[in-house]
């Protein structure tokens, strides 16, 4: 079955305290987004990669690809005003019955084997997301008070999230809602069951300068 990967890369550098969008910031002398694309290509060169970027970033990306001689095949799609709209735009390039993975462009540490495992799991279960147990104690704040919660009932959600094209295309035909925080919440809104898959603790989303230090260390470990 055909496999697509929609890589959403519309972030800014605000929390990075940088004028450069975080997907273009260099990690080991190469833009973060290139590391992310390479992981999917390493998983299987047959995966059709769709990169969703704000229109104003298309020229920047073309220049970076030329500078770094980046030649992995991929299609560029114009992003929307929200993540929901960006994914919906990316789906327009998914033209065959397939399994579609939606991934954050700033999660460059995903392991290729983990990507393949998620695709394979989605073949039989149609809607699969990677999750990781919350290790720290958590508390719920209510006004000026707070209370401890049972962390065993909560998980951190990661990407790539994988779905059959039939389900995902149908889900993205509905009207956008504020409760849509990821693709799983969009699919869940049409009544489809979400299956959980063991995530990878190293598959972090680069959000702060400290995340870059951690990512560099992981990439450079023996």
Total residues found in the chain within this entry: 222
* Cα–Cα nearest to 26, from 74, 88, 82, 70: 70
| Whole-number Å distance between alpha carbons of 180 and 175 | 10
Count other C-beta atoms under 10 Å from residue 25's C-beta: 18
Q: What is the CATH number of domain 2-220?
A: 3.90.550.10
Q: Which helix (H) or strand (E) holds 145?
A: strand 145-149
- Cis preceding-peptide flag for 160 (omega within 30 of 0): yes
SS3 at position 53 = strand
| Whole-number Å distance between alpha carbons of 141 and 92 | 41
Q: What is the pTM of this model?
A: 0.95
Q: What's the pLDDT score for residue 14?
A: 53
Q: Summarize pLDDT for 2-59 with one digit per residue, the tens.
A: 999 999 998 654 555 567 899 999 999 999 999 999 999 999 999 999 999 999 999 9
Q: At what angle do helices 112-125 and 32-43 cross, to 10 degrees?
A: 60
* Cα-based torsion angle of the residue sequence 3, 110, 64, 15 in order, rounded to the nearest 10 degrees: 120
Q: Summarize pLDDT for 89-120 with one digit per residue, the tens.
A: 999 999 999 999 999 999 999 999 999 999 99
Measured CA distances, 30 to 1, 40, 47, 70, 170 (Å): 32, 16, 22, 10, 36
Q: Which of 72-86, 173-187, 207-221 has the lowest mean pLDDT?
A: 207-221
Average model confidence (pLDDT) for the chain? 94
pLDDT exceeding 70 applies to what percent of the chain? 96
Q: Map out the domains of the chain as residue ranges.
A: 2-220
């Amino acid at each position: 079955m055909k496999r697509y990967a929609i890589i959403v890369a519309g972030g800014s550098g605000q929390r990075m305290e940088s004028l450069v969008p975080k997907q273009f910031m260099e990690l080991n002398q190469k833009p973060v987004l290139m590391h992310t694309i390479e992981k999917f290509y390493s998983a299987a060169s047959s995966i059709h990669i769709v990169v969703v970027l704000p229109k104003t970033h298309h020229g920047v990306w073309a220049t970076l690809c030329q500078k770094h001689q980046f030649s992995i095949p991929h299609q560029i799609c114009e992003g929307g005003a929200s993540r929901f709209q960006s994914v919906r735009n990316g789906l327009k390039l998914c033209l065959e019955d397939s399994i579609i993975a939606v991934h954050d462009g700033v999660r460059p540490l995903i392991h290729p084997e983990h990507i393949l495992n998620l695709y394979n799991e989605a073949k039989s279960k149609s809607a699969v997301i990677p999750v990781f147990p919350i290790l720290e104690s958590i508390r719920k704040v209510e006004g000026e008070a707070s209370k401890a919660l049972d962390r065993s009932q909560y998980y951190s959600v990661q990407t790539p999230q994988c779905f059959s094209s039939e389900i995902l295309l149908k889900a993205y035909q509905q009207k956008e809602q504020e409760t849509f925080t990821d693709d799983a919440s969009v699919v869940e809104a049409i009544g489809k069951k979400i299956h959980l898959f063991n995530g990878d603790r190293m598959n972090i989303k680069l959000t702060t300068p400290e995340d870059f230090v951690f990512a560099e260390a992981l990439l450079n470990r023996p």
